Structure 1
Amino acid sequence: MTLWLYGLIPHLKAFHIVTLAVWCAGLFALPLMLARHEPAIGPADYSRIRRASHYSYTFVVTPAAVLAIASGTALVFLREVFVPWMFAKLVFVAFLVIFHAWLGHVLVTVAETEGRHTPPEPTAPMLILLAPVVVILALVLGKPDLGQIPMPDWLSQPQGRQLPFDVPRR
């Protein structure tokens, strides 16, 4: 790796942490915002809350998610962190992505479904979200040795096979 990339790693890591904090904060805030989607509160307030939750999801939370995942992917390759705890962390990041997509679905359902649609109570989604966030923090901060967990050979050793598609040649 070239020398200028080593100097870039701390900045990229700080950027990753900031975007991850914004993403997770948004994932925790949106269920609370959705809980305020009561048509009984009045049309003006309902419209304001609906727009705020939509714009928060579209212009803050989703870009933060994309940037957090992109910077995290770059860090994995720059730091060459190909260890079992990182792969376990990526599984729980996938849970965050699934939760993010579910929130988007709920936002669209609340905004575009005619008639009354009651969003879910915020307690259950926030507790569900808390689990992968805590596990990710434990994996990143603890960096546990997960090497003793039995893995199939096809996951832990090169197989010496060709890819199932042609690789373009230069």
Structure 2
Amino acid sequence: MVDWLSDLYPWTKVLHVISVIAWMAGLFYLPRLYVYHTEVVAKGSETDTLFQTMERRLLKAIMNPASVATWVFGLALVFTPGIVDWSMAWPWMKAAAVLGMTWFHHWLAQRRKGFVNGTNTVTGRRYRMMNEVPTLLMVIIVASVIMKF
């Protein structure tokens, strides 16, 4: 039934990795935009409008499609026969980290609404600290997949 996934495995893996790279780029960059938006930009200014446009486009045109593609191709890999051994710890660690990455993505999307409404209360320092979340999750994901512990 899912043998066709085995035939497509190399392409599925390629598309998954490309999607992950695009998603991670956004997850690293959007909180950095929020830092500068919070610390430097005056509410209601032209620069505020510019930052909101950049943040919206990054989220809607790059991050959202990349996250969906990451999930689609990742699940295709999961359902490819012989790829994932669920008796080992690594797929569970990766799955937990991917769920964490997805939560972070949605947290960033919620923070964007604060800028749009002029109600952002998160400090630049907190955005800087939160900017480390995808790095930690990436380390867990890459180590899990490569080391297969």
Per-residue Cα deviation, 1:69-124 (whole angstroms, up to 9, x for no partner): 1110011111441323112210110000110010001111111135x755543420
**Deviation (angstroms), 1:138:** 0.3
Residue 48 of structure 1 aligns with which residue? 50
CA contact (8 A) 1:34 1:119 kept: no
User: Which residue identity does 1:82 align to in structure 2?
Assistant: D
Q: d(CA) in 2 for partners of 1:86 and 1:10?
A: 19
Structure 1 stretch displaced more, 84-93 or 18-27: 84-93
Aligned-residue CA RMSD (Å):
2.2
User: Which structure is larger by alpha-carbon Rg, 1 or 2?
Assistant: 1
Higher-RCO chain (CA-CA 8 Å, sequence separation at least 6): 2
User: By percentage of residues, which structure has more helix?
Assistant: 2
- For normalisation by structure 1, the TM-score amounts to 0.75
Gaps spanning 5+ residues in structure 2: where? none
Residue 19 of structure 1 aligns with which residue? 19
**Structure 1 residues 118, 97: CA separation in 2 closer, same or farther (over 3 Å shift)?**
closer
Identity of aligned residues (%): 27
**Structure 1 residues 36, 11: CA separation in 2 closer, same or farther (over 3 Å shift)?**
same
The 4+ residue runs of structure 1 with deviation greater than 6 A are none
Residue 69 of structure 1 aligns with which residue? 71
Structure 1 stretch displaced more, 35-44 or 84-93: 35-44
Q: d(CA) in 2 for partners of 1:14 and 1:58?
A: 23
